[in-house]
A and B are shown apart, each in its own frame.
Chain A
Amino acid sequence: LAKTTQPISMDSYEGQEVNITCSHNNIATNDYITWYQQFPSQGPRFIIQGYKTKVTNEVASLFIPADRKSSTLSLPRVSLSDTAVYYCLQGDDKIIFGKGTRLHILP
């Protein structure tokens, strides 16, 4: 069973900042939090990974509070091409994907 919980779906508009929150109450000391993006008919693609505080790359930012029981993926100024499913994963020997969050960007 997936160890993380995230919203099933979200809608937003082009140009907006989108924040997707993930809950991982039972995160272990050694676990990292990783986010993937999946477009239809393609395999998932790595977006960002973090352990605590804030990580930023050219695509997104990841915020992890001190207790590490949740994390927030932030996508700045989304476009229509960001419509996809986003998965939050808690690192373990078994890398388990949940159902993900279906993000729909509207014009």
Chain B
Amino acid sequence: NAGVTQTPKFQVLKTGQSMTLQCAQDMNHEYMSWYRQDPGMGLRLIHYSVGAGITDQGEVPNGYNVSRSTTEDFPLRLLSAAPSQTSVYFCASSYAQRENEQFFGPGTRLTVL
């Protein structure tokens, strides 16, 4: 199993540009989530999904969209990038939310100029 994969590893955007961060898992996990981590800070939940076709907002959803058309994929879209969205983005998945460990991807380091 590849586990949780994220692409790209690094990305530089200009203010106002849009892009999609890709996340995929091959473990047949129902629960997937996106976090951002700013330097020296903890992780903040952006959006999550409890299964295909179901998504919900986390702590900091503004400026981001998600969709979950398949169990495997959970892309994160930045609608109009802003410097405040400069961060490291982690995708995670687990069999279920409550009593299962989450597996994290390697992260995408995004810089918005």
Residues of A whose CB lies within 8 Å of any CB of B are 1-2, 30-32, 34, 36, 41-46, 49, 51, 85, 87, 91-100
Using A93-B50, A93-B97, A95-B97 as known contacts, say yes or no to A87 and B102 having CB atoms under 8 A apart: no
Q: Which residue from B44, B99, B104, B107 sits with its C-beta under 8 Å from A91?
A: B99
CB nearest to B6 among chain A residues: A43
- B residues in contact with A97, CB < 8 Å: 35, 42-45
Chain B nearest CB, measured from A95 CB (Å)? 6
Q: In the bound complex, what is the Cα–Cα distance between A16 and B44 (angstroms)?
A: 32
Chain A nearest CB, measured from B98 CB (Å)? 4
CB nearest to B98 among chain A residues: A91
- The residue among B33, B50, B102, B106 with the most chain A CB atoms within 10 A of its own CB is B102
Q: In the bound complex, what is the Cα–Cα distance between A103 and B90 (angstroms)?
A: 22
Q: In the bound complex, what is the Cα–Cα distance between A2 and B42 (angstroms)?
A: 10
- The residue among B48, B59, B99 with the most chain A CB atoms within 10 A of its own CB is B99
B92 at the interface (CB under 8 A from A): yes
25 A-B contacts, Cβ less than 8 Å apart? A1-B59, A30-B98, A32-B98, A41-B107, A42-B104, A43-B90, A44-B90, A51-B99, A87-B42, A92-B97, A92-B98, A93-B50, A93-B97, A94-B58, A95-B33, A95-B97, A96-B58, A96-B59, A97-B35, A97-B42, A97-B43, A97-B45, A98-B42, A99-B41, A100-B42
Contact present for A94 and B99 (CB under 8 Å): no
Q: In the bound complex, what is the Cα–Cα distance between A100 and B37 (angstroms)?
A: 12
Using A91-B97, A92-B97, A97-B35 as known contacts, say yes or no to A46 and B45 having CB atoms under 8 A apart: no
Q: Which residue from A31, A41, A43, A49 sits with its C-beta under 8 Å from B104?
A: A43
Contact present for B97 and A46 (CB under 8 Å): no
